[in-house]
Amino acid sequence: MSDPNAPTRLLVYGGNGFVGTKVLEIAATRGAVCTSVSRSGKIPAQLERLRPPWLSQVAWVSGDALHPDPSLVASADAVVCLVGSPPLPTFNQVAFQQQVMTNGGANSAVIAEAQRQGVKRLVLLSAHIPALMRSSRFGYYVGKQQASAAAAEYTKASEDNAATVIYPSAIYGKRYTAAGIAVPLGAFMSPVAWVMRSLPTVVSQFLPESPVPVQQVAACAVEAAMAADRRGLTVVENQDLWSLVSP
């Protein structure tokens, strides 16, 4: 029997990215023992430089989401899937399949392994996609749909399984380049988000949904991953993220 007082063991695929590093920061600060899986397995440059106190709570390992390590997945209490690529158009079949594989196949492979290994909690970062872009010819959309379907199937495999799928619009905050140089997207996108949220419904219904801060998205992911009593499928829409109180 597992110790209810033991810290949550969190496995984060895509943990060295924009959302992933914030998820790890919040989770580790709350006492979780975290493992970040990425192709490089390296600590992001800005964290190497700053060395925040929570960094000691995170192990950084190299791995391929398309072929997840069974023993690594089995060691986790919860798995967070953040693998993805930008929603760019594709102009040939190779690029289309790459979008589907990155946004769908990779996350689906991790979800399937979590199911095989008996992991009971799963969090998937999907995306809110405007109606005009919901097309079978848009690889990003097809991949996101594929991963969401895999999460739904995961909850059907066992009544004890819990999956939370988050559908944010554009996410803003302080991003970093590979060299660790800050790109303060919030300086531009925060005022845009405020204006969009202030628009009357008669206008906003024809526009993309308001951008959301990375803090809200990451906090939602961590809350779901550490909620031991959660069961079934939970869907978090973009507007729901604004109701959260940041930690």
Tens digit of pLDDT for each residue in 159-183?
999 999 999 999 999 989 989 998 8
Domain annotation covers residue 247: no
- The pLDDT, as a whole number, for residue 1 is 43
Q: Is residue 145 part of a domain?
A: yes
Give residue-wise pLDDT tens across range 116-156: 999 999 999 999 998 888 999 999 999 999 999 999 999 99
When pLDDT is averaged across residues 7-15 and rounded to a whole number, the result is 95
High-pLDDT (> 90) share of the chain, %: 77
97 burial class (0-12, 13-18, 19+ CB within 10 angstroms)?
Answer: middle
> What does the alpha-carbon distance between residue 44 and residue 36 come to, in Å, rounded to a whole number?
11
158 belongs to a structural domain: yes
Q: What CATH number corresponds to the domain at position 48?
A: 3.40.50.720
Range of the domain at 140: 9-184+212-237
Q: What is the dihedral of CA 89, 90, 91, 92, to 10 degrees?
A: -170
Position 206 pLDDT exceeds 70: no
Whether the per-residue pLDDT at 197 is higher than 80: the answer is no
Model pLDDT, residue 33: 96
Rounded Cα gap, residues 95 and 116, in angstroms: 30
DSSP string, 177-196: -TT--EEETHHHHHHHHHHH
Does residue 4 fall inside a structural domain? no
Is residue 84 included in any domain, yes or no? yes
Whether 153 is in a domain gets the answer yes
Q: Is residue 32 part of a domain?
A: yes
Domain count, the chain: 1
Angle at 90 between CA 236 and CA 133, to 5 degrees: 40
Report residue 75 CA to chain centroid gap.
19
**Residue 207 within a domain:** no
Residue 245: the pLDDT is: 52
